[in-house]
A and B are shown apart, each in its own frame.
Chain A
Amino acid sequence: MSAKLEERSIVVPGDLIYEGKVRAGDNTYRDGGNVYATKVGLVNYSKDRVSVIALEGGYTPLVGDLVVGTVTDIELGQWLVNIDGPGDAILTVNEAIDKPFRTSLDMTQILDVGDLIVAKVVDLDRNRTPVLSILGRDLGRIHEGFVIGITPSKIPRLIGKKGSMINMILKETRCNVTIGQNGRILINGRSREDEELVERVVRKIEAEAHTSGLTNRIQEYLKAIKEEKK
Chain B
Amino acid sequence: MSLNILKNNSYFCTNKISVKNMIETDIIIIGAGPVGLFTVFEAGLLKLKCHLIDSLPQPGGQLTEIYPKKPIYDIPGYPTVGAGELITNLMAQIKPFSPGFTLGESAVSIDEVEDDKFIVTTNKGTQHKAAVVIIAGGLGVFEPRKPPVENLEIFEDKGVEYIIKDPEFYRGKKVVVAGGGDSALDWSIFLIENKIVSELSLVHRRNSFRGHLDSVQKIMDLADEGKINLITEAEVTGILGSDVVEGVTIKHKTQGEFIKACDHFVPLFGLKPSLGPIGSWGLEIEKNAIKVDTEAYTTNRPGIYAIGDVNVYPGKLKLILCGFHEGTIAVQSAFARIHPDKKNVLKYTTVNGVNGF
Physical interaction between A and B: no
